[in-house]
Structures are given as C-alpha cells and as structure tokens.
Structure 1
Amino acid sequence: MADLVRVVYRKYDGTLHWNLTMRRLGEDAHGVWLGAPPYTPIAKGHESAEPAAWAYVSLVPREPDTWWTATFNAQPKSTEIYVDVTTPARWTSAAEVGCVDLDLDVVRRRGADGALLLDEDEFAEHRVRYGYPPEVVQRARAAADWLLAAVAERREPFGEAYRGWLARVG
C-alpha cells in the first residue's frame, strides 16, 4: 500500500484541474481517507502549487458508483466540509486516484446549520462547453441533491466520522 497518493482532478475535456499529493491514512466503511497537514501544496492545473494553511482530509468513497469526493477542513478554514460532485473516483494505481470535477459543490460552513449548493452557473456553462451527456447531468444533479440533504442532516460521513482522521494530520 502506497503511503503517498497523487490526487488528480480533471475537467470533462481531460484538462488538469486540482492536483496534489496526500498521505494515505487508512480505510473505513466510507472509503479511503487521505490527509494533508497544514501547508501541503496544491496546484490548479499546471500553475505553481500553493500551500493551504490548514490541515484537511479527503474521502474517496468506497462504493465504485459514487459521484462525489469530500474534503473536511480543520480550523481556521471557515468551510468545514466541501464536497465536489465528480465522476466516480478511479484508482489508476495504489499511488494515484483521479476523477472528473463536474463543477457542482456542496458545502457546510463551520458552525452553520444546513448546506449550500455552489457553482450551478459553472455547471450550466460547462455542460454546454464540454458537452456533458444527459446521463452525466442526471447523475451529477442526483448526487448534488443527495449531498445537500446528507450534509445538512450530518449523515455519516458528514457528521463525526471525519474527526478522528482529521486529528491524525492536524
């Protein structure tokens, strides 16, 4: 099992989007947990990597047909949970996982009740630009709807499950 994992998000046309290297923390019933201590560099596309000042963990869901990946942030980040609606994540090796970012995001701000859906305008624009097939649009919308409820209701893994993993990298 690789200790370091390259995490690669692409856009629907295959262009490189967010990318970074994280440490494999372990697995549970929800999936594979990856950790990034404070100041882990993250790059957007081919731009220079910039460090994030807070620790965070990411969850790659266990179920192979799950249309999201989630990030759980430590303080001082004001966004506690940030869930990207994506194509199902695929492990290309033990040391690399990737998916396609489908623009829609569900977030929960620290200390807030409920959840917010972000980037519907970007989803609409990219749906046309990249020619998202109807099934991709339907799956992305269904994932966003499910996530809005699950994150707002703090259903696991959006309740307490991430806290132990986050404590390992804090």
Structure 2
Amino acid sequence: MRDVRVVYRKYDEALHWHQWMRHLGEDEYGVWLGAAALSVSQRGNEPEVVQQQAHVQLFPRDQWFTALFNDEPRSTEIYCDITTPVEFAEDVFTMVDLDLDVIKKRDGTVIVDDEDEFAEHQVRYGYPADVIETAQATCDWLVTQVATEEPFLSVYKTYLDRMR
C-alpha cells in the first residue's frame, strides 16, 4: 500500500484541508483512502489536528463530491464535501472545496451545512453558473443517497475495518 497526499483547496486556490492517507483500493464507487486513529490533518497553515478515530475517505471518479466515513464513537458518521471532480495523480489527490457539506449523524439525521458560506463564496470567488448549479444538484442528490444507497450503508465498513 502507498501513501497519498490529499489536498483540498478553495476556489481561489488557497490551501484548505490536507493530510496523508493510505491507499486502500478502488471499486465501482471510486478510490478509497484511509487514516488510522491518531493521524494528523491540517487546515491551511493552522496547527495540525489529531484525529482520534480511524476514518476512510471515498474519492469518486468524475463526481462532484468526496465522502469521509468516521469510526465510532464519533457522532458524525458520514461527511460529504461538495467539490470539483478529484484530480488524481499517483501520490496527490486534489480538488476544490465548494463549501456545501452533507452530514449524516450516527443517529441517522442528515443535514446540509455551510449553505451560507456557499452563497457568500459565489459572490467573493465568482463561481460560474454551471459550478453553482452542479454543486447544488450534487448536494441535493447526496441528501437522499447517504441515507438510502451504497456505498453509504455498508460498503465503507469493509474499508474502515482495514484501518482499525
């Protein structure tokens, strides 16, 4: 297994969240990476954050989102970032975070977060109309998917088991 650098940027190319993750494999849903408990991530140049639980992340090909799956006991089970499609290089995955997030709590509650940031950044960064439309449509689609469809129901658990 190899390590891959995951780099989220904002629309102005500013560095956002980034971390190293372990390549776990690829299936019909996309490429899976994982991070063990006590792994480190960082937002921009802020201090590093230690992740208490293991997590895995799905990077779909040609889709406008990424999905993070947290181990228990974290209350957030699934965290989907609406992004531009991932640019895959051998050891770096890069995408632009488009603010909107679809979150599924462990109790089954699904919420959309950062709609205010999405509206603000449309103006600040001048998101093109097609980016706004695709981001919103992807967000709306994910709200149903995370509660009813794979890989959000059980597929991710196989990868999470490997990171424990």
TM range (shorter): over 0.9
Counterpart CA distance in 1 for 2:107 and 2:17 is 27
- Residues 103 and 112, structure 2, Cα contact 8 Å, conserved in 1: yes
Shift of 1:46: 1.3
Matched, 1:74 2:76: no
In 1, Cα distance between equivalents of 2:141 and 2:34: 25
Aligned length: 164
Aligned to 1:60: 59
Partner of 2:81: 84
CA contact (8 A) 2:65 2:82 kept: yes
The Cα offsets for residues 13-53 of structure 1, whole Å up to 9 and x where unpaired, read as 00000000000011111111000001110000012222110
Partner Cα separation in structure 2 for residue 17 and residue 87 of structure 1: 14
User: TM-score, with normalisation over the residues of structure 2?
Assistant: 0.97
- % of aligned pairs identical? 50
TM-score (norm 1): 0.94
Deviates more, 1:46-55 or 1:20-29: 46-55
The alignment partner of 1:168 has SS state of helix
**Structure 2: which amino acid aligns with 1:76?**
P
Secondary structure at the aligned position of 1:137 is classed as helix
Determine the C-alpha separation between the residues in 1 that align with 2:112 and 2:135.
12
> Which structure 1 residue ranges, 4+ long, deviate > 6 Å from structure 2?
none
Aligned to 1:106: 102
Say whether residues 1:168 and 2:162 are aligned partners: yes
- Measured in 2, the distance between the counterparts of 1:129 and 1:39 equals 35
- The equivalent position to 1:118 in structure 2, one of 104, 113, 116, is 113
